[in-house]
Amino acid sequence: MHFAQYYLDCLSQASYLIGDKTTGRAVLVDPRRDIDDYLHDAEAAGLRIELVIETHIHADFLSGHLELARATGATIAFGEAAETGFPIRRLRDGERLSLGADDGQGVTLTVLATPGHTLESICLVLREHPDDEVPFGVLTGDTLFVGDVGRPDLLSAAGHTPQDMAARLHRSLHTKLLTLPDATRVFPAHGAGSACGRSLSSETSSTIGAQRRFNYALQPMPVDDFIHLVTAGQPATPGYFAHDAALNRDGHPLLEPGPPPALTLDEALAARDQQGAVLLDCRPLAAYTRAHLTGSLHTSLDTRFAEYAGSVVTPGTPIVLLTDPGTEQEARLRLARIGYDHVLGHLPDPAAVLDRTPALSSRSRRVRHEELCLGEPQLAAIAETDEARTGGAEPADPIPTDSIPTDSIPTDSQPTDFMPADIQLIDVRNPAEYEAGALPGARNLPLAGLPHRIAELDPSRPVVLYCRSGNRSVIAAALLEAHGFAEVCDVIGGYEAVGAGTQ
C-alpha cells in the first residue's frame, strides 16, 4: 500500500493519496486546489489516480476535485446524500472500494455514512488487505478530529438546526467510528487552528483508542449533554465559508497558475477608487504597523493568511496585493485556495513606495496593556508625544511606558477598571476564548464576524481592540480604519500580555 498525508499548515488541512502498488490504482481524498504535489508523487510511485473522494462539501477551502478530474480523468465521488452541480459517483454506506486487480483484492476502502458535520459526510475505513481484522486506519474527514469532533452548525447544513445535526453526529460517532478496534489509526481532515472545531489538536493523526479515552466529546454522557457541548462556544464562522461551500457544491473555475501582474501606485489607487478593489497588505505585522497605505486592510503571510483575508474581505471583491518582493505568487495562491481569484495585481515593494509618498501612509495606533488605565486625555497626550517625537514623517513604535506620567496611573486597581466610559473595548477573539477570561467591560465581536457587525460600533467614539496575542486585533483595527473609524488602537501582545502584566 502507498499512503501519504499532505498537511497544509496555513489552512490546517489534510489530504491523502492512497494506492495499491501492485495494480498502480490510487484514490485521492480531500485534495486542495493546487494539485502539482499529488501529480508528481503519484507519477513517482507509479500510481494512477482513478477516483477523487470528498468526505463532505468543504466550507473552509476550495477543493481540487475539478482540477484533478481535468488533469487525470479521475471520477469525482461524494457521499450518497451530496447534491452537486457536476457529475459525481455516489458512495453508499458500507460500499467497498477495491484498488486490487479484482473486487475483494488489494487495498480496500469501506465507506461509512457519518452525517453530523454535514448531511453528506462520510468516513473511509482503510485496509491494506480486505480481510485485515484491524484496519490500517480510518479517514474521518470533519466527523472526528484529534481532540475534537466536527462542528454541527455550518451553513452547508442549511435547513437543519445545529441541535439536529449534533444528534446525527452523536449517532455517527457511536454507531460507526467507535465500533472500530482501538488500534485503528485516525486520519482527520483538519488540525489545530481550523475553524471547523474548537479544540483540535496539533497532532495530525491518532488512534480510535486514544480518542475514546482522551477526546472530550467522546466521553460517556447523555445525548442532550453532548448536543449542548458541541453546539456551544464554537469559533465564529469566517465570511468566506458559505462562498466556498457553494463553489465546492456547484462548481468553480479551474485554478490558473502564474504570478499577479505588477501595478504602479497610480494603478493600484485607481483600482481601489474605480473598481472597488481592496488594498490587502500582506507584509509582516511589524512592517504594516510602522507604515501602510491609508485605508488598506491587513493580514500577514506568516499567519493564517487566507482564513483572515476571507474574514475581512467580501467574496468576489477585487484585490490588489501589497507584498514584500518575491511573495506575490504565494499570496495569490493562498487566496486561490479559498476561492479568492479576483486578484488584479500587486504593488511591488510597498515599503519603498511608502517612503516616497508619506502623505499617503498611516501608522497603526497601538497601546501597551499598562496604558489601558489611562483616560482619553492621557491617550491623546501619548499620541501627541508620538507625533512630536517622529515629526510626522518616520513611523514609530508605541511610546515606552516609562514616558507616561506615573501619577496618572492609579496603583490600587486593575488598569481596565479605569477605562473611560466612552471608549469601546472590543475583544475580537472567538467566543470560547472570551468565555474563558476577558477584560472587564469588553464586548466580544469575533474577527470572523466583525464585517457584519461594524454597525454595532459608534465611529465617533474611540475603539480599543485586543485578541490573544496582538495579531487579530491589528487586522480588526485595519478593517475599522478602512470603514472610517478615526480613533482606533489595539493592545500590543493582547490578552496574554495583560495577564502576564497583572501577575
Q: Active-site residues: which are they?
A: 467
> What distance lies between CA 13 and its chain's CA centroid?
10
Contact between residue 182 and residue 135 where contact means Cβ atoms under 8 Å apart: no
Phi first, then psi, for residue 292 (nearest 5°) are -150, 160
Residue 198 to residue 230: CA distance in whole angstroms: 9
Q: Where are the beta strands (DSSP E) in 177-233?
A: 185-188, 206-207
CB contact set of 157 (below 8 Å; sequence gap of 6+): 117, 118, 119, 165
Q: How far is CA 87 from CA 67, 76, 78, 81, 480, in A?
A: 14, 8, 10, 14, 43
Concatenated DSSP letters for 87-153? --EEEPTT-EEE-SSSTTSSSEEEEEE-TTSSTT-EEEEEESSTT-SS-SEEEEETTEETTEE--S-
Residue 404 to residue 323: CA distance in whole angstroms: 35
Contact between residue 318 and residue 263 where contact means Cβ atoms under 8 Å apart: no
Q: Determine how many CB atoms are found less than 10 A away from the CB of residue 434.
A: 19
Q: How far is CA 85 from CA 117, 157, 197, 245, in A?
A: 21, 17, 27, 12
- Tell me the one-letter amino acid at 169: L
Angle between helices 36-44 and 65-72 (to 10 degrees): 40
The residues with which 124 forms a beta bridge, in sequence order, are 111, 139
* Max intra-chain CA distance, the chain: 84
Contact between residue 321 and residue 343 where contact means Cβ atoms under 8 Å apart: yes
Q: How far is CA 21 from CA 42, 101, 104, 125, in A?
A: 11, 11, 16, 18
Question: What angle is formed at CA 132 by the lines to CA 126 and CA 136, rounded to 5 degrees?
Answer: 35
The H-assigned helical ranges of 221-325 are 223-231, 240-250, 265-275, 285-290, 305-312
Cell of 473: 486585533
